[in-house]
Amino acid sequence: MTRISSTTAIPLYKWGGRVGRVAAIIAVGIFFILKVNVSAQTTTDGEKITGQVNLAAAVKPVASTHMIASANSARYQHGASSGPTGVPVDSEVVAVVYAVPRDDATRIAVAAAVPFQAEHRPVATIAQKDMRFVPSILPIRVGTAVVFPNEDDMYHNVFSYSSIHPFDLGRYRKDEKPAQVIFDTKGVIKVFCEIHEFMRTTILVLDTPYFTVTDTKGSYQLNNLVPGAYMLTAWVNDKSVWSRTLDVRAGEPVTMDLAPDTGGKVTP
């Protein structure tokens, strides 16, 4: 049997130490690379959809007694002036744009990315101000609570006969705090004031965390979507609802215009 002398063993020991140090350096490098990659994945802003909704193509509701009113006056002036688009200024015609997953894989991914937590339930607000509901349309996720503060120096009442979620908060003043209402079923909720019949607003309860309201020119942007298959919808009113399918892919922002007479213009 060959014996290794002490003079031979020392160089081997030193060589082994060098290998250990090199291996340690490589391991640290791999760990750093993996950490950077994981960090990049967990801090991503998600994907984006932008586009235009053709508000001018929407079916206009029958003109009603929408009034410009002063909270300090018992006299109302009928008829609102029109903006450059021909839409009454005080009607705030806009669209709600929302993206709903259209397959199980996307639904699971969305639920994991944006979970709904009842213990941290979101609360939205519709105010009664200057004898109007503000905003005139409110999109919310299923399970959201809504509060209806009265900011006018007079009594108001908030109620809905919606079959999805009827409620009546009764009459209350500015210094009174009505109960909040939790909407746990998707659908359209029309809200009115029993005292002032011209006051109205709409709550759109959606089964998705991805929604936004356009500006008055119809421009919109949805952010932070997880990649997947979606149905994109623009809701202007009951008679003007336009939907298109689309696939959202990682690193590929999408542009989609929505109107009743197009198949949806999608890029890329």
Contact yes or no for 211/114 (Cβ under 8 A): no
Q: Report pLDDT digits (tens) over 49-79.
A: 999 999 999 887 654 333 333 333 333 332 3
Question: What's residue 21's pLDDT?
Answer: 54
How far lies 202's CA from each of 77, 162, 235, in Å? 23, 11, 11
What is the band of 14 on the pLDDT scale with cuts at 50, 70, 90? very low
How far lies 39's CA from each of 43, 48, 119, in Å? 6, 20, 27
Spatial distance between the Cα atoms of 220 and 257, rounded to a whole number of angstroms: 9
How far lies 222's CA from each of 89, 97, 255, in Å? 25, 8, 10
Higher pLDDT, 238 or 42: 238
Question: What's residue 262's pLDDT?
Answer: 60
What percent of the chain is predicted at pLDDT more than 70?
69
Task: Decide: pTM greater than 0.85.
Answer: no
Where does residue 81 rank: exposed (0-12), middle (13-18), buried (19+ CB within 10 A)?
A: exposed
How many Cα atoms within 13 Å fall on the side-chain side of residue 176?
12
For range 100-123, the mean pLDDT:
94
- Give the H or E element holding residue 113: helix 104-113
Higher pLDDT, 80 or 213: 213
What is the band of 157 on the pLDDT scale with cuts at 50, 70, 90? confident
* Distance in angstroms between the alpha carbons of the first and the last residue of the chain: 73
Q: Name the range with the highest mean pLDDT among 32-36, 37-41, 78-82, 168-172.
A: 168-172
Spatial distance between the Cα atoms of 224 and 47, rounded to a whole number of angstroms: 5
Question: What's residue 86's pLDDT?
Answer: 34
Q: Report pLDDT digits (tens) over 185-194.
A: 999 999 988 7
